């Protein structure tokens, strides 16, 4: 018990840093992923803004980034990170890299859920004279909202996972703390307390996502 009490201040601090990283990466990656995923859906053939060239570019972009293992992407994005966040190391840079990876992951999740919106509903909106942008805003996104929330919940958990390797580039957070102070210093209390916190955080996020989706889908 006293051992846990000893690591508690660090545990809380690193948990807060992790949650902050996850939140920022989710906001930026979420917005980026929503934009690209929506773009993929509406520009594909038969979409409300069918644009073969745009679709092709987006598709290649997503297919290029998605298979890269995150730990390699984290190292490789350093030059771009220096331009965007001013440095290629530290927590801020790690957030940048996570947001990039999350953008492309979320893009596919968003696309999968948006293409599942029944074409008939979109056609009914087109028949009322609604513009493509209005249809995206008032039909495609709202109709897919429940599954989208579940998809984002899935993405958040992947982001928690990615945040754990921030230590590679000198970033902080629960993962780095568990590796640097738990694994390397043979302190099992640190490793296990980090693990327990991550599990609890993920459980809570999943429960929150499920509850929200259930409310939206009224089931």
List of residues contacting another protein (CB under 8 A): 118, 120-121, 123-131, 134, 138-139, 142-143, 145, 218
Whole-number Å distance between alpha carbons of 60 and 83: 24
DSSP 158-202: HHHHHHTTGGGGT--SHHHHIIIIIITTT-HHHHHHHHHHHHHHH
In the complex, the smallest distance separating the C-beta of residue 138 from another protein, rounded to whole angstroms, is 7
Whole-number Å distance between alpha carbons of 67 and 49: 28
Determine the Cα angle at 107 with ends 102 and 194, to 5°.
25
Which of 63/138 has CB closer to another protein? 138
CB 152 within 8 A of CB 106: yes
In the complex, the smallest distance separating the C-beta of residue 111 from another protein, rounded to whole angstroms, is 19
In the complex, the smallest distance separating the C-beta of residue 131 from another protein, rounded to whole angstroms, is 6
Which of 6/119 has CB closer to another protein? 119
In the complex, the smallest distance separating the C-beta of residue 130 from another protein, rounded to whole angstroms, is 5
Which of 79/118 has CB closer to another protein? 118
Which of 48/102 has CB closer to another protein? 48
In the complex, the smallest distance separating the C-beta of residue 116 from another protein, rounded to whole angstroms, is 12
Token pair of 201 as six digits? 């955080």
Which of 140/197 has CB closer to another protein? 140
Token pair of 38 as six digits? 């929506």
């Amino acid at each position: 018990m006293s051992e846990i009490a000893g690591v508690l201040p660090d545990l809380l601090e690193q948990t807060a840093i992790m949650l902050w990283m996850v939140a920022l990466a989710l906001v930026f990656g979420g917005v980026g992923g929503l934009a690209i995923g929506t773009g993929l859906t509406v520009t594909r053939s038969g979409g409300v803004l069918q644009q073969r060239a745009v679709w092709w570019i987006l598709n290649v972009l997503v297919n290029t980034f998605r298979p890269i293992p995150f730990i390699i992407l984290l190292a490789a994005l350093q030059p771009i990170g220096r331009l965007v966040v001013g440095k290629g190391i530290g927590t801020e840079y790690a957030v940048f890299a996570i947001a990039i990876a999350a953008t492309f992951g979320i893009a596919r999740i968003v696309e999968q859920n948006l293409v599942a919106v029944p074409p008939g509903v979109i056609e009914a909106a087109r028949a009322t004279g609604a513009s493509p942008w209005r249809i995206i805003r008032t039909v495609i996104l709202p109709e897919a909202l429940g599954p989208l929330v579940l998809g984002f919940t899935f993405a958040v958990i992947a982001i928690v996972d990615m945040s754990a390797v921030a230590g590679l580039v000198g970033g902080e957070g629960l993962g780095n703390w568990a590796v640097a102070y738990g694994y390397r210093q043979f302190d099992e209390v640190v490793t296990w307390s980090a693990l327990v916190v991550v599990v609890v955080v993920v459980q809570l996020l999943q429960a929150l996502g499920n509850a929200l989706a259930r409310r939206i889908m009224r089931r």
